[in-house]
């Protein structure tokens, strides 16, 4: 059986691809490096991380992108012996505008090397490629109209060949986005996401005998949605992508979320799941049109992987490079960076939270040289909402930021003894624990006597719309990680070792 979500935690907008016996699942990464994380499977049950495809500034520059900006909805395809990756980089999504640059890179293997990016039209986001049987390739994307009173404008198709003109093949119906086209049995099937990426989300399928349309809806309604049933474990089901197995079986990869309370906040963000697809009356359909937690696996030999080494660390807005972070076995050395609200060079090394109950622990050696320096661990959502337990010149300090408003929740050692070793004494063991809606921190094995609200580290809480204007979206889910700050740029570093993460 396939157990959903197959990729827990922050793994949204899945693009699934089969090349021979290998399956690849690419997901959005927004403001985090490496861009476009990819997982690999040979049975759709067991998935191993391959890391990110865009790990260098030549391919991706995230400096200064807003919270939940950056890489939106990548698309991974294969044609003519090359992997094709289309990705958009969102520099602004507020105030009625969508400043996005769409790019195409190719590679002979999933590991690369990837070509220099080719700029594609940026009339909208969720760009994807369709490779037709006649050898032609086409760019798909939703269209965004920034004129006052407008917005989502439908789905357009444009030949990639020189001189190809875009044409609208589907008008907007209800936040119509995330397009993919498949050619099966003489029909062109257009799959789109609709209803927005929240609790009204759904996958819709239309078809036409002509690539240009007109496209007609499946009379059975949406292919997949959770919107009518708040009791389903997998909510927000939408943004789908199809794949056919070697044996002719079909599956749908899609995003989903698991709120802490019914239709409440989703600390884990949007995750990736897989559903079995049956063809009925010429239409691809999921049983009941709702997402299942357990799904029959395809008739493929089981292919488990050896446990992955390391934790799949991500870095915020700048790629991991030796000038500020070094990985040496169990030892991670991090040079201090910007404040929590800086959008260019923060020094946060983190990983998505993947379970409702999980822990992160590490031992840190750090000698702060001034009040401008600190190092510790963090439970992080975005630059405005986070918790940070840090060693400072004043000892141990637990600080939180709630949509930009900072609060000191605790100072000193939980047992009352001196700690923090601000002058470089013995190393300090720091830990954090997500326990459903509650977040706790610890020092040297003792829990700090403060229970924090973990649900502020959620997609829903991060959404800020003021007087009808979008200030911030929440698309990423919670992270747990290692954070070093050097606000005056005076030069400081912290050494972390014996770092463990466990999802319970």
The residues annotated as belonging to the active site are: 13, 177
DSSP for 458-479, please give it: SHHHH-EEETTEEEE---S--E
Residue 445 buriedness (CB in 10 A; 0-12 / 13-18 / 19+)? exposed
Distance of CA 502 to the CA centre of its chain: 20
The angle at the Cα of 292, spanning 478 to 20, to the nearest 5 degrees, equals: 85
- The encoded tokens of residue 116 equal 């220099």
- Work out whether strand 270-280 and strand 235-244 pair parallel, antiparallel, or are unpaired: unpaired
**CB of 277 closer than 8 Å to CB of 37:** no
For residue 467, how many other CB atoms are within 10 A of its CB? 5
Distances (CA, A) of 135 to 132, 159, 207, 477: 6, 11, 20, 39
Cα–Cα distance between 189 and 174 in angstroms, integer?
A: 19
**CB of 72 closer than 8 Å to CB of 81:** no
Which residues lie closer than 8 Å to 164 by C-beta, 6 or more apart? 138, 158
Closest C-alpha to 363, from 428, 416, 308, 411: 428
| Cross-strand partners of 485 | 337, 374
User: Which region, left, alpha or beta, applies to residue 13 given φ > 0 means left and ψ of -120 to 50 means alpha?
Assistant: left
- The encoded tokens of residue 15 equal 């693009």
Cα–Cα distance between 320 and 480 in angstroms, integer?
A: 17
CA atoms within 13 A on the CB side of 447: 9
Residue 99 φ/ψ, nearest 5 degrees: -90, 95
Which residues lie closer than 8 Å to 492 by C-beta, 6 or more apart? 335, 336, 366, 367, 368, 369, 373, 375, 484, 486
Cα–Cα distance between 460 and 235 in angstroms, integer?
A: 13
């Amino acid at each position: 059986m396939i157990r959903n979500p197959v990729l827990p935690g922050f793994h949204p907008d899945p693009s699934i691809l089969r090349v021979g016996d290998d399956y690849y699942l690419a997901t959005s990464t927004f403001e985090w490096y490496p861009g476009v994380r990819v997982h690999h499977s040979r049975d759709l049950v067991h998935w191993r991380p391959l890391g990110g495809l865009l790990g260098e500034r030549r391919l991706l520059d995230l400096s200064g992108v807003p919270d939940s900006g950056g890489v939106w909805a990548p698309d991974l395809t294969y044609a003519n012996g090359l992997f094709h990756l289309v990705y958009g980089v969102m520099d602004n999504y507020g105030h009625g505008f969508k400043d996005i640059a769409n790019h195409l890179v190719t590679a002979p293997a999933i590991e690369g090397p990837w070509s220099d990016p080719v700029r594609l039209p940026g009339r909208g986001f969720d760009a994807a490629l369709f490779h037709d049987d006649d050898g032609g390739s086409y760019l798909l994307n939703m269209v965004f109209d920034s004129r006052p009173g407008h917005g989502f404008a439908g789905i357009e198709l444009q030949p990639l060949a020189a001189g190809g003109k875009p044409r609208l093949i589907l008008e907007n119906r209800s936040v119509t986005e995330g397009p993919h086209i498949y050619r099966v049995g003489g029909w062109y099937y257009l799959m789109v996401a609709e209803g927005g990426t929240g609790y009204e989300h759904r996958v819709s399928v239309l078809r036409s005998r002509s690539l240009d349309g007109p496209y007609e809806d499946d009379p059975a309604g949406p292919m997949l949605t959770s919107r009518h049933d708040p009791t389903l474990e997998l909510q927000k089901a939408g943004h789908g992508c199809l794949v056919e197995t070697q044996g002719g079986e079909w599956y749908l990869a899609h995003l989903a979320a698991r709120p802490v309370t019914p239709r409440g906040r989703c600390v884990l963000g949007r995750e990736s799941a897989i559903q079995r697809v049956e063809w009925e009356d010429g239409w691809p359909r999921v049983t009941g049109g709702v997402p299942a937690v357990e799904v029959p696996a395809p008739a493929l030999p089981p292919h488990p992987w050896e446990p992955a080494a390391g934790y799949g660390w991500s870095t915020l807005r700048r790629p991991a490079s030796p000038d500020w972070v070094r990985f040496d076995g169990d030892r991670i050395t991090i040079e201090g960076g910007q404040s929590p609200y800086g959008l260019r060079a923060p020094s946060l090394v983190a990983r998505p939270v993947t379970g409702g109950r999980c822990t992160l622990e590490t031992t840190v050696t750090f000698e702060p040289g001034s009040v401008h320096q600190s190092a510790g661990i963090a439970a992080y959502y975005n630059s405005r909402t986070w918790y940070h337990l840090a060693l400072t010149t004043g000892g141990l300090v637990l600080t939180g930021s709630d949509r930009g408003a900072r609060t000191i929740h605790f100072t000193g050692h939980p047992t009352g003894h001196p700690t923090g070793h601000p002058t470089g004494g013995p190393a300090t063991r720091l830990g954090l624990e997500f326990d459903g809606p509650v977040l706790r921190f610890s020092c040297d094995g003792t829990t700090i006597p403060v229970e924090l609200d973990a649900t502020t580290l959620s997609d829903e809480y991060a959404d800020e719309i003021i007087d009808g204007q979008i200030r911030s979206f929440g698309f990423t889910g919670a992270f747990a990680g290692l954070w070093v700050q050097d606000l005056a740029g005076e030069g400081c570093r912290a050494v972390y070792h014996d770092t463990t993460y466990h999802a319970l």
